[in-house]
Chains A and B, each alone.
Chain A
Amino acid sequence: AQTVTQSQPEMSVQEAETVTLSCTYDTSESNYYLFWYKQPPSRQMILVIRQEAYKQQNATENRFSVNFQKAAKSFSLKISDSQLGDTAMYFCAFIDTGGFKTIFGAGTRLFVKA
């Protein structure tokens, strides 16, 4: 069975600093996508960044970047220059291209302190 594990239930970071959220996954599939989603308090879930498994280059979206280690099945999210608006629950997610089912990790609650 495919699983996604986020080992950090809660993290905090000072404004303007950098923080890394960890995610590991388990699958026997070779074609899949990985995502980080953000769910701010009482607000809608939004996509932060995506990574295709066949791409070796790590995805980057402005202050957000990933470290994708396919062999280790690791997919961490780095947030640079943290802002107060980054305070949210962050979910790591996996989908294989033929399964039509997204598996989410338990989430990491991130607090950005002023």
Chain B
Amino acid sequence: KAGVTQTPRYLIKTRGQQVTLSCSPISGHRSVSWYQQTPGQGLQFLFEYFSETQRNKGNFPGRFSGRQFSNSRSEMNVSTLELGDSALYLCASSRDRSMGEQYFGPGTRLTVT
């Protein structure tokens, strides 16, 4: 069974631009979560989707948004990029409705210049 895939793996953007990151969960997994990982802030929860519904959202500004499609694939979008958005963005999928254990993708390394 294929693991969680994320595209692109690396991305360089300039301030003010917007970016869309994609995540394909493990087949059969309906829960997808997104995290931002930085050296200073560690792993911070962005949002979680289950069956196309956002069930929870972390403490991030409205520039961060996401969605989930009927095939469970998920995208997150960051508009008006700031230097502080430079981070590793991790996606994780889970089979159980209660989330339980998660399986992580390799991440997308976003650099904002």
How many of B's residues come within 8 Å of A, CB to CB?
24
Known: A45-B90, A91-B43, A107-B42. A102 touches B104 (CB 8 A): no
Is the beta-carbon distance between B99 and A100 smaller than 8 angstroms? yes
The majority secondary structure among interface residues of chain B is strand
| Residues 23-70 of B at the A interface (beta carbon under 8 Å) | 31, 33, 35, 42-43, 45, 48, 50, 55-56, 58
How many of A's residues come within 8 Å of B, CB to CB?
21
CB distance from A54 to the nearest CB of B (A): 13
CB neighbours (8 Å) of A104 from chain B are 35, 42-43, 45
Answer whether residue A99 sits at the interface, using C-beta atoms and an 8 A cutoff: yes
CB distance from B111 to the nearest CB of A (A): 16
Q: Mark A77-100, 1 if CB is under 8 A from B, else 0.
A: 000000000000001000101111
CB distance from A67 to the nearest CB of B (A): 19
Is the beta-carbon distance between A101 and B58 smaller than 8 angstroms? yes
Q: In the bound complex, how far is the Cα of B98 from the Cα of A85, in angstroms?
A: 31
Q: In the bound complex, how far is the Cα of B100 from the Cα of A97, in angstroms?
A: 8
Known: A100-B48, A100-B56. A45 touches B104 (CB 8 A): yes
CB neighbours (8 Å) of B48 from chain A are 100-101
Which B-chain residue is minimally distant from A33 (CB atoms)? B100
Q: In the bound complex, how far is the Cα of B92 from the Cα of A106, in angstroms?
A: 18
Contact of B99 among A95, A105, A106 (CB under 8 A): A95
Q: In the bound complex, how far is the Cα of B33 from the Cα of A101, in angstroms?
A: 8
Answer whether residue A112 sits at the interface, using C-beta atoms and an 8 A cutoff: no
CB neighbours (8 Å) of B92 from chain A are 45
Q: In the bound complex, how far is the Cα of B48 from the Cα of A102, in angstroms?
A: 9
Further contacts, 17 of them, CB under 8 A, given A95-B99, A104-B42: A33-B98, A37-B104, A44-B104, A44-B105, A44-B107, A45-B92, A46-B104, A50-B100, A91-B43, A95-B98, A97-B98, A98-B98, A100-B50, A100-B98, A102-B102, A104-B35, A107-B42
Among all A-B residue pairs, the 7 with the closest Cβ atoms: A45-B104, A104-B43, A100-B55, A100-B56, A101-B56, A97-B98, A106-B42
List the interface of chain A (C-beta within 8 A of B).
33, 35, 37, 44-47, 50, 91, 95, 97-107
